[in-house]
Amino acid sequence: MKIVTVVGARPQFIKAAAVSRIIRKQHEEILIHTGQHYDNNMSDIFFDELRIPKPDKNLNVGSGSHAKQTAEMMIGIEQALIDERPDCLLIYGDTNSTLAGAIAASKVHVPVVHVEAGLRSYNKNMPEEQNRVLADHISDLLLCPTDTAVENLKNEGITEGVYQVGDVMCDAVLYYSKMMESHGRKDYFAQFAGLFGNIPVLDSWYMATIHRAENTDRIEKIREILGAFEELDAPVIFPVHPRTKGMVEQLHQQYAYRNVIFIEPVGYLTMLYLVKHAMKTITDSGGLQKETYILDTPCITVRDQTEWVETLRGNYNILAKPDKEDILNKIYQTQTDTKAKEDYYGDGHASEKICDLLSYVKRGERE
């Protein structure tokens, strides 16, 4: 089979690393990078570090409004599909790249395979929720990471072509964790690029990432979140997403944070190391909630909902508002029930199951 895979954002590079390694043993894969994440620290480093094959096509779309970005992706993906005439198109997750790929393929009658189908936060104000719902409803093969995701699709009337395969992010975490431990703590800290000074080698820390639009649309929210970080009992390592960099620099000039270590975005192995050995992780990322769960690190998610509802069981993951007092309360007052933990996300072999199921779709089924 010939498969076109569309990626465009950091979590998708990681998932593609796991799946492409298996797909290319049996099939021909054409990898399209939309350019949604175009900063080197957010993009190129992942292809190098995770040994992902270089993209066959790079659309270099870059930033822009949701409509502009998605439209430009659709144009480039459509042309690639016309040129390549693949048996199917493979998409991941819930980004604008995901939606653009699904729509472009559907219009030219190429079957759509959605990895990580069926996730729902039930907050349609989130662009990610809009993307994942629309992509699911025009996909032909829906590969779900959990039983909850399968049930979500059933509730929306989608039952054909739905399979629970486990989570490819679990595949990646288990695979790359072995590589992660080949380096020592000093090696990881030596590579950090600090935004406001030198970085010491720490014995203990909290890990934080904040980038979602709902937390970065107003500087007041970032100020509350950083205010909580400043009062914690250990330093907070905070790789700064390009979306928040301007606000962070402005606030740091005003407050001169001492307990927050601001660094440039880091590679995946470094991120795994920092999460694995952190006291707790504070994030608004979808994927990082799962990674912390798999790595057995408690998590505080600065959001009103999560699509990864399984992580909430046993208080491995706790939802918090972008409010200093609420974040501090959740960090200090929440006790994790280790007996409640289960392997919700599979056994690390989702990629093999996905590869086996690809034979269920063939070009021409829609024509």
The two structure tokens encoding residue 93: 């997750």
- Upper half-sphere CA count for residue 276 (Cβ side, 13 Å): 16
* pLDDT value for 367: 46
CATH of the structural domain 182-340, one choice from 3.30.160.20, 3.40.50.880, 3.20.20.80, 3.40.50.2000 = 3.40.50.2000
Q: Are 153 and 159 in contact (CB under 8 A)?
A: yes
- Cβ-contact 289, 299 below 8 angstroms: yes
Pick the CATH number of 2-167+347-360 from 3.40.50.300, 3.40.50.2000, 3.10.310.30, 1.10.3720.10: 3.40.50.2000
Contact 4, 162 (CB under 8 A): no
pLDDT at 362: 64
Distance CA 245, CA 258 (A): 17
SS3 at position 339:
helix
Task: Tell me the backbone φ, ψ of residue 143, rounded to 5 degrees.
Answer: -105, 105
Phi, psi of 45 (to 5 degrees): -60, -30
- The CA angle 246-247-250, to the nearest 5 degrees, is 90
User: Any residues with CB less than 8 A from the CB of 204 and at least 6 apart, and which?
Assistant: 234, 279
211 is catalytic: yes
Q: What is the pLDDT of residue 213?
A: 86
Residues ≥6 apart with Cβ < 8 Å to 231: 259, 324, 328
Residue range(s) in the chain whose domain bears CATH number 3.40.50.2000: 2-167+347-360, 182-340
**In whole angstroms, what is the distance from residue 297 CA to residue 308 CA?**
15
Write out the chain's pLDDT in tens, 367 residues: 999 999 998 888 889 989 999 999 999 999 999 987 655 554 566 667 777 778 899 998 877 889 999 999 999 999 999 999 999 999 999 999 999 999 999 999 999 999 999 999 999 988 999 999 999 999 999 999 999 999 999 999 999 999 999 999 999 999 988 888 878 899 999 988 889 988 999 999 999 999 988 999 899 999 999 999 999 999 999 999 888 999 999 999 999 999 999 999 888 899 999 999 999 999 999 889 999 999 999 999 999 999 999 999 999 999 999 999 999 999 999 999 988 899 999 999 999 999 999 988 865 454 4
Tell me, what amino acid is at 279? Answer: M
Give the C-alpha separation, 149 to 142, whole Å: 10
Q: In what order do the strands lie in the sheet with 299-301?
A: 260-263, 236-239, 206-209, 281-283, 299-301, 317-319
Q: Which letter does DSSP use for residue 35 in this model?
A: -
Q: Residues with Cβ < 8 Å from 253, sequence gap 6 or more?
A: none
- Choice among 211, 252, 277, 349 that is catalytic: 211
Q: Show Cβ contacts of residue 28 under 8 Å, excluding neighbours closer than 6 positions.
A: 1, 2, 3
Dihedral sign of CA atoms 307, 349, 106, 85 in order: positive
Of 142, 23, 137, nearest to 92 (Cα)? 142
Q: 215-254: string of b/e by CB count within 10 Å (b at 16+)?
A: bbeeeebbbbbbbbbeebeebbbbbbbeebeebbeebbee
CA–CA distance from 123 to each of 133, 199, 214, 306, 307 (Å)? 11, 38, 11, 9, 10
User: In angstroms, rounded to a whole number, what is the distance separating the alpha carbons of residues 28 and 85?
Assistant: 12
In whole angstroms, how large is the CA radius of gyration of the chain?
Answer: 20
